[in-house]
Every structure is written in structure tokens, then in C-alpha cells.
Amino acid sequence: MQNKIVLAYSGGLDTSVLLKWLQQKYDAEVITVTLDVGQKEDLDAIEKKATKLGVLKHYSIDAKKEFVEKYVSQAIKANALYEGKYPVSTALSRPLIAEKLIEIALQEEANAIAHGCTGKGNDQVRIEVTAKALAPEIKIIAPVREWKMTRDAEIEFAKKHGIPIPVDVEKPYSVDQNLWGRSIECGILEHPDKEPPEDIFEWTVSPENTPDKPEYLEIEFEKGVPKGINGQTISPVDLIERVNQLAGKHGVGRIDHIENRLVGIKSREVYECPAATVIIEAHKDLEKLVLTRHEYSFKQQVDVLWANLVYTGLWMDPLKEDLDAFIDKTQERVCGRVKVKLYKGGLQVVGRSSPFSLYDIDLATYNIETTFDQMSSAGFIELWGLPTKVANALKRKKGAKKNV
Ligand code: ARG
């Protein structure tokens, strides 16, 4: 029986070369799959290209709604920022891609799936761990890990096999984007001491060129998920697109940091994540208003763990599901409005309100008429500081002895 391989196809040079390579090396029939997760590519053009390259079948899937509802929404509830900075945008799309590849492989009775990830990154891990968790019997082929082709060799191969060369083939950058963010790698960016050149940015205006007047944005949350902006209810996909656009216009959401990859490499990563930056900041602020101090403190630890699991490809691990159960429970009261000010690359939360607010002005006010009994603080301080007081007394005693 002829091999049948389901390939995650972006339409770019790498995956096009890969398509031909799979057909030849494995004498395989290739089925291509392209997911629309909001990367703003021309899906029809991609389909045409795949057909031209002789695929058995091509699947174009609009996965934006599913991506937002199942993946992005959970990341918002978890305030997911890997190493405090990266909203795990690329990481979130990989388990979804793997899930679709496997679904189609089973449906088409294919014996393998293939992807174009390199052997140095996180994406290979995310796709393969998910695929193995779903259907361990399906083989996984990662040609880029084994073929060792340079860019020039790829172009040569493409020319030889009638693969159209993209117009931007000379661009030194590798870009991955979806609704939740845009990642830019390679070229000059591999030198962490050099400022990213302006031409890599597409979603955000440089703060030097943003409007001179600030803009306010009010986000309404329901159970931890944004449901509307500026008093209008809109669908989650549209909401994220709208916030990307508004915050991007004010230069908000540029991220430049050193990232610890799962495979042990430190890399310099540059992202544009306007909506993620704004929504997570607003969401965190609302949580502070409605969760108790104990809940908030514990949840911060859970959030770090959640982002680590997702970054490291463990979307399918039961621990993630366990954490989701905790997170979902806390989000029942994360309802309300957060007002954000966007100005010259900066973002500030300037107001918040909620029907579940735990803020009590009668307790908090410095006015004399307050329900807080200041006299009870003295006894509280005595007991709260007791262990510290005892430990320091002993330290002084030992110190004094040492000096004689
Ligand atoms: N460092 C980021 C991550 O691991 C971004 C990866 C971008 N991927 C890409 N294929 N260009 O999630």
C-alpha cells in the first residue's frame, strides 16, 4: 500500500519543499492541511499552491473560533505569560494543529503526519507530544530535522521541482502569527545586544509615531473571559482583532526578551502581542479586585505552572486539566469592567469595577469614620511578628557569645 502522509502546510517555501520531498522520499500521497488561526494569509492561494504541487487532497480549516474559545480564553484565565513576558501565542496554536492533523489522518486512513518544525525549537515538541497522546499508532515525520538543507539548497530544490518561490524569500526573518500574537526570529535578531530594526514590526506602530492623544478602552469580562469593549458585546474573535488593532495603533504590545527554550537553548525572542498584553493586564487587575488575598496568591503560582506546561508542549497532560479545574472555579467571580489607557507604547489600568468586588471603602478609607478597628492591629502585630522576634533574639544571643 502506498504511504499516505498528512502534512501541516503553511504555503511557505519550507513546507512546499517538504511536500515534494515527502512525495519523493516516501513515494507518498500527501494530504495538506492549513489552519486559519488568524494569521491573515490567503487561504485560497495556499490551497491553489498545494493543488499545483500534486497533493491528493487539501484541507483549509477556519479554526479561529475554536482557537480562541478553547485555547486563548484559557490562557487569559491563566494570565499566561511564559517567564513573565511571552503570552505563549505560538505555543497555544500547536496542540490545535496537532489535533487537526491527527483527526484528518485517522479519517483519511493515513499512516503518518508531517510538520516543518526544526529540531532546535519548541514547536516540534508541542506538535509531537500532542499527536502521540492522541494517536500513538500514527507515525510522525519531521523532515527539517534530518534533511540539513540550507536556504540556498531549498531554493535550488524548489526551482528544480517547479515550486513557486515566495517574493519575500530574501527576507531574513522567520515569522509565526495567529490572533494572539506575532513572533519574529532570525537575522539581526539573533544578536541580543542589537535593537530590533523597525521593519520587523507589522502590528504595532513605533511609540515615536503613535497618536499624541491617549485612548481609553473599557473591557468587560464575564467569568474571566472578555465579552465586550466600550459597552458593546462582540464575539471573542472580533474582540481580539479589535484590541490588537487599537493597542497596536498606540505601540502597545512589543516584547523583546531572552527566553529559555525547552531544548536547553537561550534565545532572543521578539513578539508583537497587543491584544494579549492589554487583556492579560486588565484580567489580572480584575482578579485582584474579586479574589481573596489567599486565592490570588495561590493562583499566581498556578498561573506560572500553567504557562510552563503549555510552553513545554504538555497541553494534553492531565496536570493541565487539573489546573484548569482550579482556574475555572476561580473565574466564576471574575466578572466586571476594566478601563485601560493606551498612550505612546504604554498601557495603564486606570479603573475597575465588579459586582463581586471585595473592595470595601468603609474598611479602606483613611477617614476617621471607618469600620476597621485600629486597636485590634496591636495584638495582631504581636502574634504575626512573634516567630521573627524570637528568631532574632536567638541570633543576637549567639552573636554576642561569638564576640567574647
Ligand atoms: N519562541 C516562541 C515559542 O517557542 C516562538 C516560536 C516561533 N515559531 C516559529 N515557527 N517561528 O513559542
- DSSP per-residue codes, 66-89: HIIIIIIHHHHHTT--BTTTB--H
The rounded Å distance from CA 321 to ligand 1 centre is: 24
Residue 274: half-sphere exposure toward Cβ, Cα within 13 Å = 26
Catalytic residues: 14, 94, 123, 174
Nearest residue (by CA) to ligand 1, atom 10, is 176
The C-alpha atoms of residue 265 and residue 344 are separated, in whole angstroms, by 33
Ligand 1 is surrounded, with C-beta below 6 A, by: 90-91, 122-123, 174, 176, 183, 185, 259, 269
* Domain segments of the chain as ranges: 3-160, 174-353, 371-398
Q: Please report, as a single letter, which amino acid is at residue 372.
A: F
The rounded Å distance from CA 145 to ligand 1 centre is: 16
Q: Per-residue confidence of the chain (404 residues) as pLDDT tens digits?
A: 789 999 999 999 999 999 999 999 999 999 999 999 999 999 999 999 999 999 999 999 999 999 999 999 999 999 999 999 999 999 999 999 999 999 999 999 999 999 999 999 999 999 999 999 999 999 999 999 988 888 889 999 999 999 988 877 778 899 999 999 999 999 999 999 999 999 999 999 999 999 999 999 999 999 999 999 999 999 999 999 999 999 999 999 999 999 999 999 999 999 999 999 999 999 999 999 999 999 999 999 999 999 999 999 999 999 999 999 999 999 999 999 999 999 999 999 999 999 999 999 999 999 888 899 999 999 999 999 999 999 999 999 999 877 66
181 burial class (0-12, 13-18, 19+ CB within 10 angstroms)?
Answer: buried
Nearest residue (by CA) to ligand 1, atom 1, is 269
CATH of span 174-353: 3.90.1260.10
Residue 382: half-sphere exposure toward Cβ, Cα within 13 Å = 5
The whole-number pLDDT of residue 404 equals 60
Q: Which atom of ligand 1 is nearest to the CA of 90?
A: 12
Query: Which fold would CATH assign to domain 3-160?
Result: Rossmann fold (3.40.50)
The whole-number pLDDT of residue 403 equals 65
The rounded Å distance from CA 16 to ligand 1 centre is: 19
The whole-number pLDDT of residue 171 equals 84
Nearest residue (by CA) to ligand 1, atom 4, is 122
Residue listed under C-alpha cell 492579560: 280
- Cβ-based neighbours of 154, under 8 Å, separated by 6 or more: 13, 14, 17
The rounded Å distance from CA 177 to ligand 1 centre is: 9
The rounded Å distance from CA 117 to ligand 1 centre is: 10
Residue listed under C-alpha cell 516543518: 116
**Mutation choice for ligand 1 from 86, 117, 123, 200, CB with most ligand atoms inside 8 A:** 123
